[in-house]
Amino acid sequence: MKYIKQIFEPLEVIKIEKNYFILWFVFTVFAGQIGIITNIILRANFKGYSIAESLLLDSNSGSFYTYAIALFASTLGLLFVNIIERNPTKFKSFKVFLLVLTIFSLFFAGIYYSASTIKSINDFSHVHSPIKIDWPQLIFLVLSIIFAIYTFSITRLDLNYERFKHLDDNYGEKDDENVEKLDEKVAGVKTDKKGNKL
């Protein structure tokens, strides 16, 4: 239970940095889907499509895969820059774990996207098919947004270090601090237990 709480604790940064999060969310998550949103509006106004029909057309063309892949890639970029830029890297376990998950998700999203485009080239009847959910595309879309939000939170932990330092696993720095404390104690010792000068 303790570990699950620690996994979700970085998300508290969103409450602390609400204004930055809203700006980031609007320009990264929302604006990244501006093409899909525009398609919904244009199709509704000029062709009479419902929102569901418009989303189906975007889904059939792989728009959500493309968005998820772009969001995964930008998440990876942000994580790599953060790890390289900060030395020593704080909260390394969170960042490395998220990197691994994001790399695999990006890889599989790319495979699924490629498979879906090959399928759509061979199947022209998908335009007139009944509305159905492309579950892998939806899953990758949701995962990409979750990973992006978590990455925002993880990279902002550094700026709120005092509040979240208990989550930091930078053992090298902690060991150095312990060694310094021991050195200070040793420097203060002038005699042994028997009173002999050292």
| Residue 37 forms part of a structural domain | yes
| Residue 17 forms part of a structural domain | yes
Expressed as residue numbers, the domain containing 51 is 2-188
| Residue 196 forms part of a structural domain | no
| Residue 173 forms part of a structural domain | yes
The predicted model scores a pTM of 0.79
| Residue 197 forms part of a structural domain | no
Cα separation of 112 and 194, whole Å?
Answer: 74
| Residue 194 forms part of a structural domain | no
CA angle in degrees (0–180, nearest 5) for 173-179-185: 140
| Residue 195 forms part of a structural domain | no
Domain count, the chain: 1
Helix (H, G, I), strand (E, B) or coil at 170: coil
Backbone φ and ψ of 191, nearest 5°: -135, 160
> Which stretch of DSSP H or E encloses residue 138?
helix 135-157
| Residue 75 forms part of a structural domain | yes
Cα separation of 191 and 108, whole Å?
Answer: 65
Contact criterion met (CB below 8 Å) for 57 and 38: no
Nearest to 6 by CA among 118, 174, 164: 164
Cα separation of 188 and 79, whole Å?
Answer: 43
Tens digit of pLDDT at every position of the chain (198 positions): 788 888 999 999 999 999 999 999 999 999 999 999 999 999 999 999 999 888 888 988 889 999 999 999 999 999 999 988 888 888 988 999 999 999 999 999 999 999 887 876 555 554 555 667 788 999 999 999 999 999 999 999 989 988 998 888 875 566 566 667 776 776 666 666 776 666
Cα separation of 190 and 187, whole Å?
Answer: 8
